[in-house]
Structure 1
C-alpha cells in the first residue's frame, strides 16, 4: 500500500468507480451525507454513482421523500437518507447551534423570535404545504419579524437544525421549505454512543481510506467525539499507516483498482469535500483554479486516476449541453476520447445531446 493508492481506493469506496447500488437513497445512505449546497451539482453527484440514472430519477427520489436536503453538519446543506435525518440532526446540530449564538446576537435573533417564527410556519405549512423562501420571508415580515441582513436565512437554518423545517421539492428552480415532522414521519432512532459509532462506521466505509482528522472535519464533531466514534467502530474497519498517518477504511476495500479512470465530478462532490487534506488528489499549484479567489465556490473537476487534472463547465442550451474542458496540462488523444465518453454520460443524465470543446 502506498500513498498513490489512496485516491483510487477512495474512488471505489465513494461508489464512483464501483457502482454497486440501484437507488439514490442507497447511495446517500452509504455516503451518510452528500454535500448539496449546489443543488444541480449535488444531483449529478448521485447520478454519476448510478449509471443509467437520469436527473428526473433523482428528482423522483427527492419528491418521494427517500432523501431530503437539510443542514445536518457544518452549517452546510446536505442530502441525507430520510431514515437517517432525525438521529444525525440530533447528534450533530447542537454544536452548530451553540456556535451560532454570537452571530444570532449580532442579528438580534433570540428564542422569542425563533419561537414566534416556528409558530407562524407550523400553522402556515400544516398539511404538507411547501413555501418558497420569498414566501417564508413575506410571512415573517407580515407578522413583524424582519428578515433583512441574513436574518431570514438564519431563522430558517435554526429551525431546520431543530427539526422543524427541511427542504421540500424545488419549484420553478427555487427551493421550498416544509415541515420536517410531516416530511419525515419515521426514521431510525439512534442516541449517544450508538449514533457516534454509526456515523463513524459509515463515514469510513463510504469515504475511506481516511484519517480521524478527516472524520472530525467532515462531521463537525469535537476531536474527542470523533475519536470516540472511531474507537467504537474500529473493530468493523481495517487500517494501515503511511507517512505517520493512520488511515481507516471498510473491511471490504479492494486493493485491486482499475487503471485509466476518468470522471467529470461536480464542484462540491464528496470526493473533494469529504476530507480536510486534499493534497492527495490536488496539486497545491492548481488550488486557485478549483476555488477561484478562494471564495468557497468549488468548480467541477476532471479526475484522472484519482487526481484532479482540470476543470469543466457546462453550458445548457435548448436541447443540448456544451461541455467545456479546461485541463491543467496537455491531454493525450486517449484521455480526450475518455473525457468525451464521460461527457456523453452526463448528457444522457440530462436527456440532452452533448458537444465537447477542449
Structure 2
C-alpha cells in the first residue's frame, strides 16, 4: 500500500459528490437513481422525496409515489437494519446479503425476553404463523401483536411482532410512503407483495462494488459502517485485483472502481440541501471529507434524529428544518457565518424545496 497514491480529503469529497449527483443534478429516472444509491434512508416517508429532489433536475414527487403504488419501489429493512426505500429487485436481492445485520435486532432486551424459553421448533412455529398472518393481509404492529398474543398467551405480543421484523423480509405497503398521504405503517412479506422469491446469494461482493460506485473511494471500515456487515476485509482482498487502491491523508487504505468519476479537487460544488438521514453524510466510518470534525456533535439530535443538512463547498455547514404554517417554509440554520453569495444560493435552494413541498 505504501506506493498507492494519496487522495486528499477534498479530492475524496468531490468524488463522493460526483457519485451522489450533488455536483450537478441528473436527468435519470427516479428508480434508476434509487438503485444507483443502493436505496435511500426512509425512517420517515419524506426524506427519499427530498433526497431525489436534491439530485434530480425537475423531480416530481408523483414519480416516486407511482413507483411505490406500482410495487416497483418499496420501503424495507436493509443496511444497518434501518428502513430504506429501494427498488423491488434490490429488496429481494439484498435481503439475504444483509440478513445477518438485520437479525442482530433479535438481541435487543425485549425481543430476547419474548423468546425466552422458546426452543427452535417454537420459534420456527412463530415465524411460520407470522408469515401466514402477514401474507393473508398487511397488518400494523398493533394488529399483529394482538393476533400473536392470542396464539401465545402470556407472552408479549408486541415483542413477538418485532421478532418477525428481524426474521421475515417485510415491506411497508401504501398509502405509507406516498406523497402527502398518511396511514399507519402496515407490513407484509416482500415475497408476497412483489410476487417473487428472495435472491439466493448471500455473497456481499456485488453489494460492495455498488457501494463503491455510489460512495467511493472508501475503506473497509467505511463499507462496514454503511452496510452494518462485519469482517469485510477478506471480501475486499478478493476484489483487490479489480479495484483501484489509494491512501487517505491519514494513511487509511481506500478502494474504488477504476473507472468511477474522481473530479479534480478544485471542482466547484454548489450549495445543496440534503435530506434527513441522507446516506451521503452517514455512509462512512470516517467522515471528515464531508462532515467537519467541529460539527460532528451537531449532526444528531438528542433523540437520534439526523437532521437535514446544508452543504457548502461540499461540506456540512449547518442544518435545515421545515416550519409548518399556512404553507411549509424551509428554515436554514448554518453553524457559522456564511458569505452573502452562499446565503443567497442556499435561499434559492430553500425556495425551490418549498415549491416542492407545496406541490
1:105/1:292 CA distance change after superposition, 3 Å = closer
**TM-score, length of structure 1 as denominator length:** 0.84
Give the one of 348, 353, 359 matched to 1:341: 348
Give the one of 305, 319, 324 matched to 1:316: 324
Residue deviations 1:218-245, cap 9 Å, x none?
A: 122222xx22332344444323213212
1:167/1:235 CA distance change after superposition, 3 Å = farther
Q: Aligned residue for 1:10?
A: 16
**8 Å contact from structure 2 (residues 115, 123) kept in 1:** no
Give the one of 157, 181, 185 matched to 2:191: 181
Q: Aligned residue for 2:36?
A: 30
Is it true that 1:169 corresponds to 2:174 in the alignment? Answer: yes
Q: Aligned residue for 2:179?
A: none
In structure 1, distance between residues paired with 2:171 and 2:200: 20
Q: CA deviation at 1:336?
A: 1.6
Q: Aligned residue for 1:40?
A: 46
In structure 2, distance between residues paired with 1:292 and 1:184: 36
In structure 1, distance between residues paired with 2:125 and 2:261: 50
Query: Which gives a bigger RCO, structure 1 or 2 (Cα 8 Å, sep 6+)?
Result: 2
Give the one of 55, 58, 75 matched to 1:69: 75
In structure 2, distance between residues paired with 1:124 and 1:105: 22
Is it true that 1:268 corresponds to 2:277 in the alignment? Answer: yes
Residue deviations 1:143-169, cap 9 Å, x none?
A: 446785961552242233xx3x32212
Q: Aligned residue for 1:58?
A: 64
**8 Å contact from structure 2 (residues 37, 214) kept in 1:** yes
In structure 2, distance between residues paired with 1:56 and 1:152: 36
Q: CA deviation at 1:119?
A: 4.3
Give the alignment's Cα RMSD to 1 decimal.
2.8
1:58/1:108 CA distance change after superposition, 3 Å = same
SS at match of 1:313: strand
In structure 1, distance between residues paired with 2:86 and 2:238: 22
1:309/1:2 CA distance change after superposition, 3 Å = same
1:189/1:75 CA distance change after superposition, 3 Å = closer
Moved more, 297-306 or 249-258: 249-258
Is it true that 1:326 corresponds to 2:336 in the alignment? Answer: no
Q: CA deviation at 1:206?
A: 0.6
**8 Å contact from structure 2 (residues 218, 254) kept in 1:** yes
Q: Aligned residue for 1:356?
A: none
Residue deviations 1:250-307, cap 9 Å, x none?
A: 32313246414111112210111111112222233322322133x4221111011221
Residue deviations 1:180-208, cap 9 Å, x none?
A: 2122233784525xx32201110001101
Is it true that 1:200 corresponds to 2:208 in the alignment? Answer: yes
Is it true that 1:296 corresponds to 2:301 in the alignment? Answer: no
1:241/1:122 CA distance change after superposition, 3 Å = closer
1:101/1:331 CA distance change after superposition, 3 Å = closer
In structure 2, distance between residues paired with 1:344 and 1:249: 36
Moved more, 275-284 or 7-16: 275-284
**8 Å contact from structure 1 (residues 73, 93) kept in 2:** no
SS at match of 1:203: helix
Moved more, 30-39 or 300-309: 30-39
In structure 2, distance between residues paired with 1:218 and 1:147: 35
Count of aligned positions: 342
Q: Aligned residue for 1:80?
A: 86
**Structure 2 portions without partners, runs of 5+:** 1-6, 177-181
Is it true that 1:93 corresponds to 2:103 in the alignment? Answer: no
